[in-house]
Amino acid sequence: MFKVASKEIIPMMKHGISRLTDVEKGKQVKITSFEGGNGIMTKLNRFGIYPGDLARVVRHAPFQGPILLEIRGMEIALGMGIASHIMVEVAACDLP
């Protein structure tokens, strides 16, 4: 996974940022941004997901199924398509 910045390809993990779809089960993350247009941001905001939120990856369903997140005590299932637009920073410690 790479990010293009001023005609230079930089690995995104170098900056501690990755896609939600790449985070392992049980990890706590901080949502940093959304990639895509206003439609993606609007849909995620309707789910109650905002940049700056802390979340925990509860489960990855098999066969590219949804990712189950826990945010502010709510569990939200996100399909892989929309989850791939969420950029996160993995927290230094994990919650049980």
Give dist(CA 45, CA 41) in Å, integer. Answer: 6
Domains of the chain from N-terminus onward: 16-90 (2.30.30.90)
Asked if 96 contacts 83 with a C-beta cutoff of 8 angstroms, the reply is: no
The pLDDT of residue 64:
87
Give dist(CA 52, CA 32) in Å, integer. Answer: 6
Instruction: Centre a 10 Å sphere on the Cβ of residue 12 and count the other Cβ atoms it contains.
Output: 14
Find the angle CA(61)-CA(49)-CA(18) to the nearest 5 degrees.
Answer: 60
Question: Which residue is associated with the tokens 């910045």?
Answer: 5
Q: What is the pLDDT along the chain (96 residues), one digit of tens a residue?
A: 444 443 333 344 445 899 999 999 999 999 999 998 889 999 999 999 999 999 999 999 888 889 999 999 999 999 999 999 999 998 766 555
